[in-house]
Amino acid sequence: MYKVRYFPDSSFWEAEHHPSPSFSWCSIFDARDVLVKRARWQVGDGTNILLSDPWVPRAAPFRLVPVHGGWNEEWRVSNLFNTEGRWNEALVYQVCHIDDIPFILSIPLSNRRVKDRWVWHFDPKGTARIFLWKVVNNCIPTIARLIEKQVPLEACSCTLCGIGDETIEHICRLSPYVKGVLNVVSGVVRVAYSFDAMQLNFTDWLVHCASNLSPKLWAPFLFSLWGIWRERNNRVWDNKSLEVNHVVVQLAVRFQEYQKYHGKGSGGGNRLVVPWQPPSAGWVKIDIDGAFHKDNSSGGIGVIIRDNMGNYLGGHYAPVTNVSSPEQVEALAGREAVSLAMQQGLSPVIFEIDSLTLFHATKLTVIPHTSFIGRVYDDITFHL
């Protein structure tokens, strides 16, 4: 509805002031500036991003530190690539500020020529807390809330399930879609949907959940509610929809990335050694692994290819530099494994990995990966 009237030939980000906007559109349009402050470019081929644009993956405003006599104002990110489409490290060191160099060189680039795109750079847990504040203060623009504000809307049923009016309580508790997502978070449904809990009004229900869910469950519970609202908005604004299982996988990947990057993941310690199991006759198995050294932002990737008899068919090992996490190294190893399988024409193939994040991310074939490692995940899922 909004697109037809306010930006029929462009995107929401490019929409201009309208001479006679509605009250709801004024609120949305004014909020765009807030959104822009938390958005940045994700590097693809680098041709659409000026070096002065927001694209550096660190704290806002995501821009390079100006360097006297450094990069040219007309340069684009692609000017920092070498002929192979990788970072020209010598040039980066020559023209960029020393504080920017580690962030630039750590950005994983795609193996394919892909377009640059805008992504939302955020602390997902912090965003979820803001969402909770809006829920408690009845500030979420559900259909029912917009109708209360005299916004003319044709339908009032839930965008996610089509059952019942789209109120804040419905979108956070009553919708079958919501319960389907929360049902995957072990232990949440037992607390949130117990008989006693369902007798409470919505505000008291939230208090009940906050009081009775452990910190390990409260965080993914809150994160899931925010993700459900985000999925609802994707349907309204972008006409894109995901089934419950895809939303669950997407939320799992993003929440795990948050935990890993903030030192709350399950990494570290000794790994469980599991004996190698051969694939079925006619299949080959590709084992993938990576090692990360935090002290110098380096690591190594390893790939081994074997048949059902355990015969070695090939492999690859390479050191990697300018990496920021174990997940990035595992993703690079996964991309190398897929590349080897394609080069050698191997089929059918089993990829064996010990990274849950990589496993979940490569299942998200229906949506772009906008995380920091997104371009690597895109390369993997493109060929699977």
Specify whether 209 is located in the same domain as 133.
yes
What CATH number does residue 331 fall under?
A: 3.30.420.10
- Token readout for 224 is 């899931």
Specify whether 131 is located in the same domain as 96.
no
Q: Looking at the whole model, is its pTM more than 0.75? A: no
Specify whether 61 is located in the same domain as 94.
yes
Specify whether 140 is located in the same domain as 255.
yes
Specify whether 145 is located in the same domain as 244.
yes
- The distance in angstroms from the start CA to the end CA of the chain is 36
Specify whether 41 is located in the same domain as 16.
no
Specify whether 141 is located in the same domain as 83.
no
Q: List pLDDT tens digits, range 151-169.
A: 888 778 999 999 989 999 9
Per-residue pLDDT of the chain (384 residues; tens, 9 = 90+): 677 788 888 777 677 888 888 766 776 777 677 666 778 899 999 999 999 999 998 877 899 998 888 888 899 999 999 999 999 999 999 999 999 999 999 999 999 999 998 887 755 556 677 788 788 878 888 999 888 888 888 778 999 999 989 999 999 999 999 999 998 877 899 999 999 999 999 989 998 998 899 888 888 898 899 889 989 998 888 888 888 887 887 777 667 656 655 544 444 444 445 578 899 999 999 999 898 988 889 999 999 999 999 888 888 889 999 998 888 999 999 999 999 999 999 999 999 988 877 887 787 655 567 788 889 999 999 888
Residue 348 belongs to some domain of the structure: yes
Specify whether 128 is located in the same domain as 255.
yes
User: Domain containing 48: what range?
Assistant: 37-121
Residue 267 belongs to some domain of the structure: no
Please report the pLDDT score of residue 254 as a whole number.
Answer: 66
Q: Final residue of a domain: which of 81, 102, 121?
A: 121
**DSSP reduced 3-state for 233:** helix
Specify whether 363 is located in the same domain as 379.
yes
Residue 269 belongs to some domain of the structure: no
- Token readout for 265 is 């993941």
Please report the pLDDT score of residue 259 as a whole number.
Answer: 63
Dihedral angle computed from the Cα positions of residues 120, 358, 114 and 16, in that order, rounded to the nearest 10 degrees:
-20
Please report the pLDDT score of residue 363 as a whole number.
Answer: 75
* H helices present in 262-318, as ranges: none
Q: Final residue of a domain: which of 59, 90, 121?
A: 121
Q: Final residue of a domain: which of 76, 98, 121?
A: 121
Please report the pLDDT score of residue 217 as a whole number.
Answer: 86
Number of domains the chain contains: 4
**23-29: long-range contacts at Cβ-Cβ below 8 A with a sequence spacing of 24 or more?**
23/149, 23/150, 23/151, 24/141, 24/146, 24/149, 24/151, 28/2
- Count CA within 13 A, CB hemisphere, residue 278: 10
Specify whether 24 is located in the same domain as 45.
no
Specify whether 159 is located in the same domain as 220.
yes
Residue 272 belongs to some domain of the structure: no
Specify whether 376 is located in the same domain as 319.
yes
Please report the pLDDT score of residue 265 as a whole number.
Answer: 45
Residue 276 belongs to some domain of the structure: no
Please report the pLDDT score of residue 270 as a whole number.
Answer: 43
Residue 131 belongs to some domain of the structure: yes
Residue 277 belongs to some domain of the structure: no
